[in-house]
Amino acid sequence: GVAGARLVALLRARSGDGAGAQARLMAPPGVRTPGDALPLALLGAALPEEDRALLVVSARRAVARAAQRERVGVLEHLGLGAAALDPRLGREVLALCVRALRRLGAVAEARALLGRVGACGAGLDLPELALEAALLEWTEGRPAQAAAALGVAAPPAGGRDLFLLLSRAQGPPRAPLRVPPLAHAPGTERAVELVARWAEALGVALDRAAVRAEAAAAGQDPAHPARVRALFEARDCEVLALGGDVRGTDALLAAQVPFLRYQITRDGARYVDLPLLVRHFDRDTGLWRLDEPDVERPDALPRASAAKSWALVVVPRARAALLAPLRGGAAEALGREVEALRADAGPGAPRPPAEAAGALASLYRGWIAYERARRDQDPDALAVAAAHLEHSRRVPPLLGFEEYARAQRRAARGEIAAALAGYARCALLEGESAELALARYAGLGRHARDQVDEARRALDDAVRRAPDDVRVLAARAVLFRALGEPGRARADLLRARDVRPDSIDLALMLAELCLDEDDPEAALAVLDDARRQGPAVADDERLRALRRRVEAERLARADDLEALREHRRSREPQTRQRLAFELAARGDAAAESVLRKLLFDPAPAVRVTVLRLYLHPRLRERAEQDELLLRRLVNVLERDPSEAVRAAAA
């Protein structure tokens, strides 16, 4: 049944098999009726919140796969299933399913899904769903219905500007705003899809394979401005960079000439200069309609955001007259300046100049300095970034990046209350994320040891949003260990190691925790498992040093000869040396029979140690009386390849 399918998916996700979890969620049985939703509601009530969060995250990723494969029926049951399992966490998945259906052209199915959400514990009073319902009406040319769909719901975090513009939409029905069907493509493939669609709309012969191959040959991202310029100029096109709020681009859109707009946007753990393909401009709402190949990103954007972004405009030379009104003005000069700054934004780039400039140039100088600070852990670069952003943030609209970088600077200076307020403003502008929760925790943990409860809440929030993020789980494990809750710390580290079994840092943390709990056997099991991940992990000196500590602890606890004997198989020479001392200390015949076998240990240092131990009166007497042992000692003296060992034997 549907609940059993979710349990199987949960087990796969917990074991690090994210693809398997998504495949199980996409397979039958699906959620079709309120009766299907009931077992999921019961399961959700029984599962811990973090397991529900892991299932919801898996469902969100499955939505992207289903959208890529145009699996309309799967999208419906994924959204309803997530909402039934956890109405609060699942509503974003449900909204994502509505968006994917709309962008696949399955408008009737999107409307039907919105009509069925109440049966699964969610409703259109939820801001995310209300906004998707309004966007559905707007893209279908029904502005009045778009405003009505928003009702009295509050704006969702990160969607305030869209919400306000759509709430004022009026006018008679008009033609739908059509873009090509969705082809979900995250990451680098998103950039390939974006450039290829742009070329297709311009009538330029440039397919996906060519975009991908030429970018790989140049070692650049396919949507990097320099790569885009080279691609189109090589195909007889005019390319123009424009900065700021450019009214001339409206005429291009009226002539059905899309353009690429770059805007600094969060992408996971980083802020990137994200390219957006603008297709239409709706004068009634002030919204741009985007051709967006990643279903997880919005496909509408307020035109007012142009003040904090820049554009690359491309036309075939036969239509170069379209660019004439845009040439020679301040927008072109600013566009050239930002494009030059953008070209120098890679590793090893010079520091951005500190002089004051326009808001857009200041924004990009601040972004370049922030990237340097993040990459090199350079506090001076963070100060430079903050100085530039103080200038840019005076011009609307305020960006999440500007608030985040400013808050990071304040956290570094110990101004925790101001930093937390900045993170909160950032969340309103771009939505909550695991990165923001981690930033809150880092600030609290570094400077406010008395605010443990707040730090813990921040990490719990991060785990809910990214339950399989290794960094988040490891950070919370460190906090639990410091708070004296080793069991919870171990649970988080085990979950993290399921996702990243080859992580040396996680293995170290988990083994150290086992030692804290006075369980060297468990610590050794962790280290043995890490060694099986491959030579690179097995030979790491940090792991080997910790293994020597663990084995020393086990040797000290050994209460019989069998417990000692097993350490002959240790790959650490220092452990085998310790074993020799322990055997010599016992002094009985059984222990000495194991000790004499170490005369042929592969490590010269171990053989030297054993020979010196035989100088002890009790062991020397045994050598004098045991002809076989004496013969072994003479054999070492005559034949051992190590001069140090032969000297010890002599």
Q: What's the pLDDT at 248?
A: 80
pLDDT, one tens digit per residue, over 559-600 is 888 888 888 888 899 999 999 999 998 878 888 888 989 999
Q: What is the pLDDT of residue 569?
A: 87
Concatenated DSSP letters for 467-524? TT-HHHHHHHHHHHHHTT-HHHHHHHHHHHHHH-TT-HHHHHHHHHHHHHTT-HHHHH
pLDDT at 33: 76
Q: With 50 as the cut, is the pLDDT of residue 71 above it?
A: yes
> Distance between CA 422 and CA 640 in Å, rounded?
69
- Cα–Cα distances in angstroms (integers) from residue 280 to residues 81, 98, 397, in the given order: 34, 21, 21
Residues 6+ apart with CB under 8 A from 201: 256, 258, 279, 291
Work out the pLDDT band at 622, boundaries 50, 70, 90: confident
| Averaged pLDDT score across all residues of the chain | 88
- Separation CA 210–CA 103 (nearest Å): 26
Per-residue pLDDT tens digits for 355-407 = 445 899 999 999 999 999 998 888 899 999 999 999 999 988 999 999 999 99
β pairing state of 310-316 and 300-302? unpaired
Bridge partners (DSSP) of residue 263 are: 274
Q: Is the dihedral of CA 519, 525, 530, 535 positive or negative?
A: positive
pLDDT value at residue 118: 64
Sequence-separated (6 or more) residues with CB below 8 Å from residue 622: 589, 592, 629
pLDDT at site 464: 86
Give the pLDDT band (50/70/90) at residue 437: confident
Residue % of the chain over a pLDDT of 70:
95
Please tell me which residue, 17 or 247, carries the higher pLDDT value.
Answer: 17
Residue where the block lists tokens 């707040």: 454
Q: What is the mean pLDDT of residues 62-85?
A: 92
Per-residue pLDDT, 74: 93
How many helices (H) and strands (E) the chain has is answered by: 34, 6
Q: Which helix or strand (DSSP H or E) is residue 145 part of?
A: helix 143-150
The mean-pLDDT minimum among 150-154, 308-312, 484-488, 568-572 falls in 150-154
**pLDDT at position 360, please?**
92
pLDDT-above-90 percentage for the chain: 51
Helix, strand, or coil (residue 170): coil
Burial (0-12, 13-18, 19+ Cβ within 10 Å), 164: middle
Q: Strand, helix or coil at 144?
A: helix
Calculate the alpha carbon distances from 459 to 32, 342, 409, 435, 462 in Å. Answer: 35, 34, 21, 10, 5
Question: What CA–CA distances, in Å, run from 197 to 90, 108, 203, 254, 275?
Answer: 32, 26, 10, 18, 13
pLDDT of residue 314: 96
Position 223 confidence tier, pLDDT thresholds 50, 70, 90: very high
pLDDT of residue 265: 94
Predicted confidence band of residue 446 (pLDDT cuts 50, 70, 90): low
CA neighbor of 554 nearest in space, from 571, 569, 566:
566
Average pLDDT over residues 153-179: 87
Burial class (CB in 10 A: 0-12, 13-18, 19+), 548: middle
How much is the average pLDDT of 27-38? Answer: 84
The amino acid at 256: Q
Average pLDDT over residues 509-515: 91
Averaged over 303-313, what is the pLDDT?
A: 91
Q: Which of 397, 389, 469 minimizes the C-alpha distance to 433? A: 469
pLDDT reported for residue 276: 95
β-pair partners for 242: 311
pLDDT for res 125: 63
